[in-house]
Chain A
Amino acid sequence: MMRFISQQCRDNALWWVMALATVFILLTLVFIVAYVILQGAPGLTWTFLTSTDWRVGVWPMLLTTLYVVGVSLLVSLPIGIITAVFLNEYARNPKLKRTIRLAVETLAGIPSIIYGLFGLLVFCRILGLGQSILAGSLTLSIMILPVVITSTEEALKTVPRSFREGSLALGTTKIQTLWNVVLPSALPGIVTAVILAIGRVVGESAPVLLTVGIAKNVPRSVMDSGRTLTIHLYYLTKEAVEENAFQQAFATAAILVVFVIVLNSVTRAITRKYEKRIGSAA
């Protein structure tokens, strides 16, 4: 009887610990989001979003951020997807596959500031791109390669073998099967990879600071230096030259937070749809 009671107590205690941990996480999230948005909301005006004057608005930073995201994806998606396809569909030599995977995992583990250093040296200096959107995007595209490769490979793995066999048995070539059956089936997973990659690029600061720079004007081309929202946020809080800098920092933060939340919801929605489809196929 005593034993039974003590076990009951332990169960109860455990329940409370878990409940507290969950509540803690939820509260933290709610607090951060609510705080940032509430603080930032008053500053989120149309002028703030569209003004090209860095003292008033963030248009140059928005544009720079979009450029950096776009160019990074343009470079890393083809390379990443092709690598994942090679690993999952073509490579037969297990030693080679293991080596490539090890390389990818190692890339994923390198601190981002090191990428920044590398980018500064190779792209900005040696290749002579200077601090520019292009140099930064190239740096970031290397940094997000592991995310793209790993997620795409996961997506390819979930495509049932029976799809491939069914297609090949109809006398199609491997490329035709890949292009018409495998990749379309993996597309939602690949989209998830893209979204994760965007999230990383948007949130990154150290390597961006080193390679893209901090120029505050509207970038005319990818060869210009620029300042992403994240970097802008850093400078607004650190320097606080303008009197309403803190207000602006929160407005900028609000943009970033909303962006991340939207991105997450989209990922989840796509993943759910994807799982449903695979489920009904099995």
Chain B
Amino acid sequence: MNQNIKISVEDLNLWYGEFQALKNITMAIPKNQVVACIGPSGCGKSTFLRTLNRMNDLIEGCRWDGLVTLDGADIQNAMDVTNLRTRVGMVFQKPNPFPMSIRDNVAYGPRMQGLRDKKKLEHIVEESLVRAALWDEVKDRLRKSALGLSGGQQQRLCIARAIAMEPEVILMDEPTSALDPIATQRIEDLMEELRRQYSIVIVTHSMHQAARISDQTAFFLLGELMEYGETRQLFEYPQKKETEDYIQGRFG
């Protein structure tokens, strides 16, 4: 097993009922890098992302086969789904803070794992908010509802909530698509920081975003992985015609 590979995907096929959404995906996600998944709407990139923490299991009529491993361990058979999700965190397209205080939002995950020690929880809350670059803005109103925050702040809160679990991988499903350019910029800056500690897989609609923030880029088309490689390589010298067409904006 390659030491630098965090998640390995082999021959992944996925169906929603009769519709095959992912076809024979094989790819490796390296440690401490940012992998961007790009492709036109409905190409399966979000579905692919949701396979990595088994969120697709919640969808009725969805089934998949193939081998996905986290540090060499089969995520379907060799570990509990809750355990998998504590190790592989997720940030969603629309900020989804819980209707509770900012503090409780961040402390939610660790609490559910059974952590009751108030001091430790306080420490985790502060630490996570600092790392999500939100601490200075919210430190005086930790007990206020998280729903009073702006969209960008809410999304950073969701990142803090994921970080509080000290995951190894963070999945981001178009995390900035609901945000304005300034909030987007802040999240992108934040990812620059986060990549040192986590492996990040991000789905994005914006090719510019992929080019700016990622080390590796995967191009999906109609449920297939068309091309996967170093971001600069893929954008400057695409190997396939379809990739070239897409990144030049000829369709999408």
Q: Chain A residues in contact with chain B, CB under 8 A?
A: 92, 160, 162-163, 165-173, 176, 180-181, 184-185, 277, 280-281
Contact = CB atoms under 8 A, between A and B. Distances in A.
A163 to B, nearest CB: 6
Given A163-B98, A171-B83, A172-B82, A92 B60 contact: yes
Given A172-B112, A280-B147, A166 B98 contact: yes
B85 interface: yes
Interface in B64-97: 82-87, 89-90, 92, 94, 96-97
Contacts of A160: 96
A169 to B, nearest CB: 4
B190 to A, nearest CB: 19
A163 B100 CA distance: 11
Nearest to B84: A171
Contacts, number: 67
A181 B60 CA distance: 21
A89 to B, nearest CB: 11
B231 interface: no
Interface of B: 53, 55, 58, 60, 82-87, 89-90, 92, 94, 96-100, 108-109, 112-113, 147-148, 158, 161-162, 165
Contact of A171 (B60, B98, B147, B165): B165
A170 B112 contact: yes
9 contacts: A166-B158, A167-B98, A168-B85, A170-B86, A170-B162, A171-B82, A171-B109, A171-B113, A280-B147
Contact of A162 (B60, B94, B100): B94
A257 to B, nearest CB: 36
A165 B92 contact: yes
B105 to A, nearest CB: 9
A197 to B, nearest CB: 25
B98 A169 contact: no
Nearest to B53: A169
Contact of B92 (A162, A173, A185): A162
A209 B98 CA distance: 47
A168 B85 CA distance: 8
A159 to B, nearest CB: 9
A170 B58 contact: no
A185 B96 CA distance: 13
B208 to A, nearest CB: 27
Given A173-B82, A277-B147, A280-B147, A165 B96 contact: yes
Contacts of B53: 169
Contacts of B82: 171-173
Given A163-B96, A180-B112, A170 B161 contact: yes
Nearest to A278: B99
Contacts of A277: 99, 147
B172 to A, nearest CB: 11
